[in-house]
Amino acid sequence: MPPLIPVLLNRFDPHSISAFLVHKGILYYSISKPGPTESPVTSLIRGICEEFPLKSLSITRERIHTTHPLQGICKGMIKVAAKRACELDLHDFIKFLTSFEGGAFEVRPPIPLPFRNPDVLVGSMAPRDSIPRHLTSLLYMASGRTRVSAMLTDAVGRVLAISWSRTHSNRAAHAELELVQNLYADGFTRFPDHSTLWISLRPCAMCAAQILAFMDGSEGFKIRFLADDPGPASKNSCLFEGSALWRSSGCPKVDIALVDN
Ligand SMILES: [Zn+2]
């Protein structure tokens, strides 16, 4: 047995079983406790895309193994940035690892980036009737080029958080996902009551699953998007009323609407 594997197995416990995949003789694994914004599978995918931006396309083509149930966010992220995953029971999971001969690499999820220019952006006031224009101007001011952006405002229109997609360097780093990761890193476990999430594009299946998980328990939460995405990624999401994923998520009632920009 290679020396790395027993070390790896010693770190496992039933509450923090990780996900792994094997690519060209290297075991890429992630050990993380599931939470409202993270699962072992999402940690693994996000970490690989962050750590190996050029090789990530071929690495994430391999089958991901996990003992943790595949939640909506895992399935969504697999659609966006990976290929396939399967659930293994603990016995098979350990058997697979103990018979493995090769190198191993621990993948850690990326650390959330701080909001850019927080003095200017976070806390600034977005007048209710001009929020879409405000969002667009913030987007151009901060990124200088067109990217998907997401902004969270409170009940009176103050900007609580803002983020942009970083898909040029990490395929899984969509704006909404980044925003939720940042909020979680700041101590939030759900969207604040009566807050509104503004997105420049209708969310894809991955982001929709993340938003749905993070809005659990939030009162009066609203989603407004500035442009419709006609692609299948957003049409079959848990936030698209009538879609298969919406039905399998229990037909959630969500206040989501396109804003006439
Ligand atoms: Zn997305």
Give tens-digit pLDDT for 119-145: 445 556 665 556 666 666 665 565 545
Is 160 in a helix, a strand, or coil?
Answer: strand
CA of 253 to the centre of ligand 1 (A): 20
**Residues 136 and 77 placed together within one structural domain of the fold:** no
Q: 180 and 249 in one domain?
A: yes
CA of 173 to the centre of ligand 1 (A): 8
Residue finishing a domain among 60, 84, 106: 106
pTM: 0.83
Same domain, 72 and 129: no
Ligand 1 geometric centre to CA of 100 (Å): 34
CA of 233 to the centre of ligand 1 (A): 8
Say if residue 100 is in the same domain as residue 135: no
Which token pair is 254? Answer: 């969500």
Instruction: Give the C-alpha distances (Å, rounded to integers) separating 246 from 36, 209, 224, 236, 253.
Output: 19, 10, 18, 8, 10
- For residue 165, being part of any structural domain is answered with yes
SS3 138: helix
**Distance between Cα 203 and ligand 1 center (Å):** 5
What DSSP state is assigned to residue 130?
G
* φ and ψ of 207, to 5 deg: -65, -35
* Least confident piece of the model among 82-86, 121-125, 176-180, 185-189: 121-125
Domain that holds residue 83: 4-106
The rounded Å distance from CA 187 to ligand 1 centre is 22
What are 214-236's pLDDT values in tens digits?
A: 999 999 999 998 888 777 778 88
Are 95 and 129 in the same domain?
Answer: no
Answer for the pair 206, 232: CB distance below 8 angstroms, yes or no: no
| 53 in a structural domain | yes
CA–centroid distance, residue 9 to ligand 1 (Å): 34
Q: Please report, rounded to a whole number, the percentage of residues in the chain having pLDDT higher than 70.
A: 79
What is the DSSP code string of 72-86?
HHHHHHHHHH--EEE
Do 200 and 150 touch, CB atoms closer than 8 A? yes
Q: What is the CATH number of the domain that holds 159?
A: 3.40.140.10
Q: Are 56 and 49 in contact (CB under 8 A)?
A: yes
Going from the Cα of 20 to the center of ligand 1, the distance in angstroms, rounded, reads 23
Tokens matching residue 70: 């595949």
Clarify whether residues 138 and 253 are in a common domain.
Answer: yes
Q: What does the block give as tokens for 131?
A: 């929020």
Q: Find the 129 Cα to ligand 1 centroid distance in Å.
A: 26
Give 12 Cα–ligand 1 centroid separation in angstroms. Answer: 31
Which DSSP helix (H) or strand (E) runs through 157? none
SS3 of residue 202 by DSSP: coil
Look at strands 63-66 and 84-87 and give their pairing. Answer: parallel
Going from the Cα of 232 to the center of ligand 1, the distance in angstroms, rounded, reads 12
Give residue-wise pLDDT tens across range 36-64: 888 889 999 999 999 998 899 999 999 99
User: What does the radius of gyration of the chain's CA atoms come to, in whole angstroms?
Assistant: 19
